[in-house]
Amino acid sequence: MLWLSEILLQEHDLNSFDELQVKVKERARAGEMFFRMDVKPPFADTPADWEERLEAVFTSK
């Protein structure tokens, strides 16, 4: 299971929500089957619908 907090801790050089979306997509393509969003991304450009957008990126592979 992939946790959003895990990505943020491991990829501490991320600077934007767009960069986070790229990492989520990479993890999905690498074979992760489940994704949980346990924290809100700390970026200034994080949109109000961030959960839906990350879920869409993860499931689109």
Quickly state the pLDDT bin for 32 (edges 50, 70, 90). Answer: very high
The C-alpha atoms of residue 34 and residue 13 are separated, in whole angstroms, by 23
The C-alpha atoms of residue 51 and residue 20 are separated, in whole angstroms, by 12
pTM over 0.85: yes
- What pLDDT does residue 58 have? 97
CB atoms within 10 A of CB 7: 21
Quickly state the pLDDT bin for 27 (edges 50, 70, 90). Answer: very high
DSSP label at 29?
A: H
In single-letter form, the type of residue at position 27 comes to R
Give the rounded percent of residues in the chain with a pLDDT score beyond 90: 98
What is the average per-residue pLDDT within 27-51? 97
Calculate the average pLDDT of the chain. 96
